Amino acid sequence: MRVIIIGLSIIFFTLSAIITFKAQGLLPVQKPPYQDNLEDITSESSNIIKKLVEDQETNRAIVADLQATITQLEDKLKTKEQVLESVKTPDAENTPRTLAVFDGGTFSPGKIAINEVALSTIENFVGEISAAQGSRVIIEGHTDNIPTGKLNVDNMDLSLRRARAIANILISHGISPDRISAIGYGDAQPIDSNDTEEGRVKNRRVEVKLVPKEGKN
């Protein structure tokens, strides 16, 4: 391109000199022998410039299409994230959350008194319950299927007493009784087999759950 421009400049100055000489009558009027070459060069230069302009317009169109596609993809991604957030957030806020599970090691067989480890665990989540204003606490007691061996105290009653034992500790730490529900399920909801000692230990448990305020969005 640079060579063509330089060539055109030289030809321009040469033609200017010839025209000047002709105007002064110093040269005979005749068609310069290189005029055909000049026309070819000019035509080729025009074609090159035209091609460059067309290529530039094509590239601009391609870039514009790519930008439009990127914008569309970003909008779709943003919309998808908003939909996922709207679906996920209510579930996270409204689904009951298990704060602790006190397993069979917490209680001695047939007993309702809890050990020091359980007391320490309760103290760790009391603050969380207090901060969740309006939420409720559900305490669910469970046992294995071995009879208690005590008169008037079956597994259903034992599981309820254990749930109430946890509830009383929460109340002693300042949690309102109105926020607490203690439920006994006995051996009706095992999570493992009662045919082995390991399974029975797992089934003897108390679960503490934090339930968000009803109607919370």
Give one DSSP letter per residue of 150-214, joined into a string.
BTTB-HHHHHHHHHHHHHHHHHHTT--GGGEEEEE-TTSS-SS-TTSHHHHHHHSEEEEEEEPPT
Average pLDDT over residues 179-199: 94
pLDDT tens by residue, 108-137: 777 788 888 888 899 899 999 999 988 999
pLDDT of 163 > 90? The answer is: yes
The average confidence (pLDDT) of the chain is 78
pLDDT tens per residue, range 64-105: 777 788 887 777 777 766 656 655 544 555 688 999 999 877
User: Per-residue pLDDT for 21 more than 60?
Assistant: no
User: For residue 89, what pLDDT is reported?
Assistant: 47
Query: The tokens of 174 are what?
Result: 């300042």
Please, which residues have CB within 8 angstroms of residue 98's CB and are 6 or more apart in sequence? 207, 208, 209
pLDDT of residue 85: 63
Over residues 30-54, the mean pLDDT reads: 67
Number of neighbouring beta carbons within 10 Å of residue 61:
10
Question: pLDDT at position 95, please?
Answer: 81
Q: What is the mean pLDDT of residues 174-182?
A: 95
Q: Decide which of 22 and 114 is more confident.
A: 114
Q: Is 211's pLDDT higher than 80?
A: yes
For 200, how many CA atoms within 13 A lie in the half-sphere containing its CB? 13
Check: CATH 3.30.1330.60 for 95-211? Answer: yes
DSSP H or E stretch at residue 141: strand 136-142
For residue 34, name the pLDDT band (cuts at 50, 70, 90). Answer: low
| CB distance 208 to 99 below 8 Å | yes
| Residue 83, pLDDT score | 57
For residue 19, what pLDDT band results from cuts at 50, 70 and 90?
low
Amino acid sitting at position 46: S
Least confident of 6-20, 105-119, 182-196: 6-20
Domain boundary assignment for the chain: 2-91, 95-211
Q: Among candidates 202, 107, 200, 103, which has minimal Cα distance to 146?
A: 200
